[in-house]
Structure 1
């Protein structure tokens, strides 16, 4: 999180949309900062300008983001008061694996050494070949390194 007062913070897109929804219907920054407790305690039905479903959905998004997390509560308050940027979601890549390759990964994750992985694979009916597995891991490492450079 940013250390400087008045510096924009990064928040998820759905939290930004929730903040903007309540701003658009005329809520002040203090009301938005207290939105989770405000809507929960007073009941959204009191506000005719709010769609019951939309307000509850946005309240839920905000509540889920800040619930039981002091650092996120501070981040939310700073976003409302100082402004925000929408954080970029983590980059996702697609990797095609054969069923056998996926089996190698699962078996390796379960155990501490290659010898044990072979036994775990045999229990599942997977023909575990450490050379193929090593080749798979080299492929994964190369893919990770290529994507990390982008």
Structure 2
């Protein structure tokens, strides 16, 4: 295997990983849709070069992939702040119905990490709210019922974007 083929495969693997990340972030920012589409084009080109053992512009592809990686990182940071805002809204809405739930920074971090691990975009204590939000985001997603990881004995309804590939 030549050095160029090895670099090409590395770029292809990175492009696939970034495309998957973009797919997961489409509900957060519409730019992720554009990035995902562009990464699919890059993947198609890289596969063509690899299959036909052709040379390609390593520097240009590397620069594009770093650009997409940086853009997706910004979108992911936006998602993290959105998750935190979602959690705080969810807790404040439940306060109206259930009395006061603890608003503790460690619980917020735990809950946000739990949502990320599960691949959830947002969670609600109300199924109606979750379904309303599902209609708003306009991407292929589903609402899943979960037990509250904080042990408050309430059910959660969480949005998860479906993988279309």
TM-score by length of 1: 0.22
Relative contact order higher in (CA < 8 Å, ≥ 6 apart):
1
Give the strand-richer structure, 1 or 2.
Answer: 2
Computing the radius of gyration from Cα coordinates, the structure with the larger value is: 1
TM-score by length of 2: 0.21
